[in-house]
């Protein structure tokens, strides 16, 4: 079973806040799913390698050429806050 402390630690890693009222529900859902995936303990996977990607494209390179992106304004228009064409964030240096 996942403990309350564990859940809150995981939430912190994921940059999420879990409401006190929701903790129980999250733990129940997480336990249910973790219990289900325990079926993998029975899977005959002893000496198999791990599959990392879906196909065997490794080391896909392209020429290191600069390509200009033509919609700078479109990028900036999506930002919640900008100043002088730069993304604006709260002060980080005190």
Partner 1 sequence: MNITELTVHELQEKLKNKELTSYEITKAYIDRINEKENEVGAFVTVTEDLALEQAKKIDEENNAEKAYAENNSEQAKKEEDNNLAGIPIGIKDNLCTKGIRTTCSSKMLENFIAPYNATVVENVLKEKMPVLGKLNMDEFAMGSSTENSSIKITHNPWNLSKVPGGSSGGSAAAVASNMVPWALGSDTGGSIRQPASLCGVVGLKPTYGLVSRYGLVAFASSLDQVGPITKDVRDSALLLNVIAGHDEKDTTSCNVPKVDYTKALKNDVKGLKIGVPREFFGDGIDKEVKEKLQEAIEIYKELGAIVEETSLNVAEYALATYYIIACAEASSNLGRFDGIRYGYRAKDYSNLKELFVNSRTEGFGDEVKRRIILGTYVLSSGYYDAYYKKAQKARTFVKKQFDDQFKKYDVLLTPVSPTTAFNIGEKKDNPLEMYLADICTVSINVASVPAISLPCGVDSRGMPIGMQLIGDRFKEETILNAAYTFEQKIKFRENYKPEFKKN
Angle at the Cα of 21 (from 20 to 26), degrees rounded to 5? 90
Q: In the complex, which residues of this chain contact partner 1 (CB under 8 A)?
A: 2, 7, 10-11, 13-17, 26, 29-30, 32-34, 36-41, 43-45, 48-55, 57, 60, 62, 69, 71, 74-75, 77-81, 87, 89-92
Which whole-number Å values give the CA distances from 36 to 2, 8, 26, 45, in the listed order?
14, 22, 15, 17
Closest distance of CB 68 from partner 1, Å = 13
Instruction: Report the distance separating Cα 62 and Cα 71, nearest Å.
Output: 23
Closest distance of CB 8 from partner 1, Å = 11
Closest distance of CB 43 from partner 1, Å = 5
């Amino acid at each position: 079973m996942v403990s309350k402390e564990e859940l809150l630690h995981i939430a912190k890693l994921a940059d999420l806040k879990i409401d006190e009222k929701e903790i129980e529900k999250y733990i129940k859902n997480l336990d249910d799913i973790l219990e289900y995936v325990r079926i993998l303990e029975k899977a005959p996977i002893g000496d198999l390698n791990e599959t990392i990607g879906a196909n065997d494209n490794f080391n896909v390179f392209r020429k290191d050429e600069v390509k200009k992106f033509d919609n700078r304004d479109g990028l900036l228009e999506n930002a919640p806050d900008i100043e002088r064409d730069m993304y604006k964030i709260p002060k980080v240096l005190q």
